[in-house]
Amino acid sequence: MQELEKIWMNGELVPWKEAKIHVLTHALHYGTAVFEGIRCYKTNTGPAVFRLKDHLKRLYDSAHIVRMTIPYPPEELEKGVIDIIKANGVEECYIRPIVFRGYGEMGVDPSSCGVDCVIAVWCWGAYMGEKGIKEGVRAKISSYTRTYINSGSPRAKSSANYLNSSLAKIEAKDLGYDEAILLDINGFISEGSGENVFYVKDGVIFTPHPYSILLGITRDTVIKIARKLGMEVKETLCTRDDLYLADEAFFTGTAAEITPIAEVDGRKIGTGKRGEITHLLQEVFFRVVRGEEPDYESWLTKLR
Ligand code: PPE
C-alpha cells in the first residue's frame, strides 16, 4: 500500500504510521464495524468529493441498523473528510470512513466497548484495472449465497458482510475469473462482491430490486443519469439467464465506477465487448464526477 501522510482518528490528524488500534479491539474479533467508500476526483476547479452527503447518510444508516451511535454529528465527519484530503495534499483519492466498536470487554456483546471513528484516504486507480474499464471483465456466478436479509442486513455497509464478499471473490479469482456475482437466497441475482449489477436488453436497463443488495450510490447515480438521458430503467427480479442473454452488462460501485461485464460463466454477454449503452453511461458518469456536467454540480463537494 502506498502510504500518505495522515489519517483522521477520533477527531485528530495523526501520522499514517501511528494510526493504530489495540489487538483486542471488538470489531477485529466480531466484525462490529460499518464503513463507507467515497471518491474524490480532480476537476477543473480543484478536487471535489462525489456525493459526500449521501455517503455519510448511508454511514449513519448503517450504524443505526447495527445499533452503534456515531459519536460525531455528520457535519464533523464531513469536515473530517475535507481536512484529511487537504492534509494529504492529494487531488484524487478514495476515502474510507470506518466506525467501529473499540477496546473494552471481550465477548459478543459490544455494549461496553466505545465507538471509534477513523477516516483514511489513499490513491486507488481502476478497481478491476484500466483494461477492465475499457474491455470488460469476466464474472462468475458464485457458489456463495448473498447474505440473507434476516441474517446480515445487506442494506448496512458493515464489515461483517464482507466475509461473504471476500469468500466469493477468492473463489472467482481461483477459478480464473475477475469477479463474482452472488445470487440471493431465492436464487435471483443480488450483486457483485463489491458492486451492483446492471444489464441491458433491447434498449431497456435492468438492475436487481433493492431487497438483498447494498443500495449503491453509483447505482443510484447511473439510474438517474440513464433516466435523464431518456432511457428506461427497471428495478426488478433478475435471473442468471437474464444476464446470460443480455445485450450488455456492467458493474457499478465507488471503487469499480462503471466496469463492463464481458462474460458470465463462460458465456459472452452480447458481443463480449463493452456495449454501446455501457460506454455512453461511462462517458457521462466520468464527466459528472469530474465536474463537467453542470446539471449534476450539486453532487460535488469542492475543496477549493
Ligand atoms: N455492493 C457491494 C457489496 C459493495 O461493496 C459496493 C461498494 C456496492 C454494492 C456499490 O456501492 P456504491 O459504492 O455506493 O456505489 N463497494 C465498496 C468497497 C470495495 C472494496 O473492495 O473495498 C466501494 O466500491 O467503495
Q: Quick check: CB of 36 below 6 Å from ligand 1?
A: no
Number of the ligand 1 atom closest to the C-alpha atom of 191: 1
Q: Quick check: CB of 102 below 6 Å from ligand 1?
A: no
Contact 27, 242 (CB under 8 A): no
Confidence at residue 152, expressed as pLDDT on a 0 to 100 scale? 87
Q: Quick check: CB of 191 below 6 Å from ligand 1?
A: yes
CA of 105 to the centre of ligand 1 (A): 31
Confidence class for position 15, pLDDT limits 50, 70, 90: very high
Confidence at residue 71, expressed as pLDDT on a 0 to 100 scale? 97
Confidence at residue 26, expressed as pLDDT on a 0 to 100 scale? 98
- Mean pLDDT for 77-90 is 98
Record the pTM. 0.98
Contact 239, 265 (CB under 8 A): no
Of the residues 159, 162, 214, 222, which should be mutated to test ligand 1's pocket, given the most ligand atoms within 8 Å of the CB? 214
Angstrom distance (rounded) from CA 202 to CA 188: 21
Residue 200 pLDDT greater than 90, yes or no? yes
Question: Facing residues of 191 across strands?
Answer: 182
- Mean pLDDT for 8-34 is 98
Angstrom distance (rounded) from CA 116 to CA 119: 10
pLDDT, the chain, mean: 97
CA of 195 to the centre of ligand 1 (A): 5
* Closest C-alpha to ligand 1, atom 19: 194
Considering just the CA atoms, what is the radius of gyration of the chain in Å? 19
Write the single-letter amino acid at 79: K
- Mean pLDDT for 228-235 is 98
* Closest C-alpha to ligand 1, atom 3: 194
- Mean pLDDT for 212-227 is 98
